[in-house]
Chain A
Amino acid sequence: MNNAYRALWWREFVLYRRNFIGEGVLNLLLPLIFFLFLGMGFQQIVGKIDGVAYFEFLIPGMVLLTIALSAFETTSWFYATNRRNQQWQEVILMGDFPNKRSLFLSQILIGIVKSLFHGLVIFLITVFLSGASVSQINIQAFLAFVLFTAIQFSALGHIVGLYVKPGPLLGRLVIFLIFPLFIVSGIGWNISQYTPVFEKIIYWLPTYTLMHGTQSAFLKGVIQNFALIVTIVETGVIVGVAQLLTGTRDDV
């Protein structure tokens, strides 16, 4: 890791420590409230889904949602604020970066690590609150889907940050796009409960593939090979697009 990467990590840590309430706690609070609200509201009515307690069923979705929101926010705000408004990237790039790709990679990495940390916290809290068993988890598959979610949404945040100015629009994208995408992809219910047409539509959503793979790994200990392949391809495409759209500085 060269100097510039270390500098970006240092900056992230300074800001995280300073904005812990706004960035850390609030990032965790939204999925947590949602978890408790859905769980307590429907546990009595639904009882079990796919043979597991409703609270337990919610866990993989909540972890994914936390990771997605956190990764998206980290990279989108970095680029939206610093690149679009202040052209601050110019200063960073004068540092010890071999090229623009390195900055792209390091920021994606920051998004991934931060979101995985938030995901881990939510995982531990929700497992603790629900008393869910973790012995059945296919850990490799679970980690793979979780990691690909972090990569996808870090890269997506990067793309959005390149074009959207910081402000309400970024918040709206989270509330009205990412959040609903996860909801309809089956955070709180099995998508077989939808009408056949709607189910088919949901089936093709990238968020469903992630959700399906993670739920299978967590709840049944099963690795969904097809979902994993689709996820790998999707991740490659999103990261590729993000890198392409970053554009090349004339010198790199």
Chain B
Amino acid sequence: MAVSITLRNITKKFGAVTAVNNLSFGVEHGTIFAIVGPSGCGKSTLLKIMATMLAPSQGSGYINGQNLIARPWQIRQQIGYMGQRVILDEQLTILENFVFHCKLHGLDDQEAEARILGLAERFDLMDILHELPESLAYGVRRKIQLVRTLLTQPKILLLDEPTRSLDRQTALKIWDYLKEHRSSLTIVMITSSMAEVEHVADRLIIMNRGHILVDGSVDEILYAQQPNLVLEATVRDYAEEEYRTIRDAEFVLGISRNENVYEIITKSPAAQAQIIQLFKPGNLVAFIPRRTRLADAFIHTLIQEQMIDE
């Protein structure tokens, strides 16, 4: 399969801070590629480098065969970039925002009209086309921003949290649309929703502190993890001391609580027997190992890296 994006040893420094550290990967054409990681790990910087909005301090890359450093203009004509912030021209109506965007990218009026109406119909924007952005809710503005990115039918979509603040129905509509067009489209997205990654991504990387911790498909990443790393324990009464004891146990990587149910991420399934011993006698009602999800694998990966560093 043809490669859409190739990055080699990309590093980006802001003064003394290294946001992206010697990072290399390739993305094949037609792939939905997810970048996940904690806040400040360099995801958005990496996406901006791919969008030619930031030049790397070191390294090289190709986007659809164009050199990332030498031919940013040519690259920009083939990509659609949607950043984290909602950026609309507040002085123009939604329709004018769309028309302006089409004109910026050189679409003729007829083609622009057809695309605008088609997408507005599909994403339920017909009724608000003549309104100014300031009168609209944040989620709607975000949807408008995404639709605007799609207007130019880019070959590569670079999306920073594309469905954040969108209702589930709209998010599904957007993914349905993107999946329909995936044969002609490569998508690189940053997301904090592991469910979304599991649902749509063909491949993902988990980043931390500017470098890649894990690179693979969802199945590969889950396969690499042990299957039952997470335990769901239901207790009769919540006891803070008990909770703390479990949290601080050597073989526990993380714990979260929802009422009387604890979700415990362990270092290995073998630790389960030891965890049971930590509950107060008679307080444990149920204890069920759960299939490892991508979100668990994500936390597991990050904590393990942190432990290696320490």
Tell me if A3 and B73 are in contact (CB < 8 A): no
Measured in the bound complex, the distance between the Cα atoms of B76 and A86 in whole Å is 20
Tell me if A87 and B85 are in contact (CB < 8 A): yes
Measured in the bound complex, the distance between the Cα atoms of B55 and A99 in whole Å is 13
Interface residues of A in 63-111 (CB under 8 A from B): 81-82, 86-88, 90-99
Tell me if A14 and B106 are in contact (CB < 8 A): no
User: With A3-B104, A94-B51, A251-B52 in contact, do A88 and B87 touch (Cβ < 8 Å)?
Assistant: yes
B54 nearest in chain A by CB position: A250
Which stretch (A5-13, A25-33, A152-160, A228-236) binds chain B?
Answer: A5-13
User: With A87-B85, A88-B87, A94-B76 in contact, do A249 and B53 touch (Cβ < 8 Å)?
Assistant: yes
User: With A250-B54, A251-B54 in contact, do A11 and B89 touch (Cβ < 8 Å)?
Assistant: yes
Instruction: For B72, give its contact among A81, A87, A96, A251 (CB under 8 Å).
Output: A251
User: With A14-B96, A96-B77, A252-B72 in contact, do A90 and B105 touch (Cβ < 8 Å)?
Assistant: no
Whether, in the assembled complex, B173 has its beta carbon less than 8 Å from a beta carbon of chain A, the answer is: no
Tell me if B69 and A95 are in contact (CB < 8 A): no
Measured in the bound complex, the distance between the Cα atoms of B69 and A90 in whole Å is 18
Tell me if B87 and A86 are in contact (CB < 8 A): yes
Whether, in the assembled complex, A164 has its beta carbon less than 8 Å from a beta carbon of chain B, the answer is: no
Tell me if B55 and A3 are in contact (CB < 8 A): no
A82 nearest in chain B by CB position: B89
Whether, in the assembled complex, A169 has its beta carbon less than 8 Å from a beta carbon of chain B, the answer is: no
User: With A14-B96, A98-B73, A251-B55 in contact, do A86 and B90 touch (Cβ < 8 Å)?
Assistant: yes
Instruction: For A11, give its contact among B51, B100, B105 (CB under 8 Å).
Output: B100
Interface residues of B in 257-304 (CB under 8 A from A): none
Instruction: For B53, give its contact among A88, A90, A96, A97 (CB under 8 Å).
Output: A90
Number of residues on chain A facing chain B (CB within 8 A): 28
A-B contact count (CB 8 A): 70
Tell me if A11 and B92 are in contact (CB < 8 A): yes
Tell me if B100 and A96 are in contact (CB < 8 A): no
Whether, in the assembled complex, A175 has its beta carbon less than 8 Å from a beta carbon of chain B, the answer is: no
The secondary structure that dominates the B interface is loop
- Nearest CB on B from A69, distance (A): 20
User: With A14-B92, A99-B73 in contact, do A250 and B55 touch (Cβ < 8 Å)?
Assistant: yes
Measured in the bound complex, the distance between the Cα atoms of B69 and A82 in whole Å is 27
Number of residues on chain B facing chain A (CB within 8 A): 28
A-side contacts of B101, CB under 8 Å? 91, 95
A-side contacts of B90, CB under 8 Å? 81, 86
B-side contacts of A250, CB under 8 Å? 53-55
Instruction: For A96, give its contact among B79, B91, B105 (CB under 8 Å).
Output: B105
Measured in the bound complex, the distance between the Cα atoms of B55 and A95 in whole Å is 18
Whether, in the assembled complex, B83 has its beta carbon less than 8 Å from a beta carbon of chain A, the answer is: yes
A-side contacts of B52, CB under 8 Å? 251
Contact digits for B69-95, partner A, Cβ 8 Å, 1 yes 0 no: 100110011010101010111111000
Measured in the bound complex, the distance between the Cα atoms of B81 and A93 in whole Å is 11
Whether, in the assembled complex, B103 has its beta carbon less than 8 Å from a beta carbon of chain A, the answer is: yes
- Nearest CB on B from A95, distance (A): 3
A-side contacts of B106, CB under 8 Å? 2-3, 96
- Nearest CB on A from B91, distance (A): 6
User: With A3-B106, A88-B89 in contact, do A94 and B69 touch (Cβ < 8 Å)?
Assistant: no
Chain A residues within 8 Å of B, Cβ to Cβ: 2-4, 6-7, 10-11, 14-15, 81-82, 86-88, 90-99, 249-252
Q: A4-B104, A7-B104, A95-B104 are in contact. List 19 more A-B contacts (CB 8 A).
A: A3-B106, A7-B103, A10-B100, A11-B89, A14-B96, A15-B92, A82-B89, A86-B87, A87-B85, A90-B53, A90-B83, A91-B89, A93-B76, A94-B76, A94-B104, A96-B104, A98-B73, A251-B55, A252-B72
**Lowest 10 A-B CB distances belong to which pairs?**
A95-B104, A3-B106, A250-B55, A7-B103, A251-B72, A7-B104, A251-B55, A98-B73, A251-B52, A250-B54
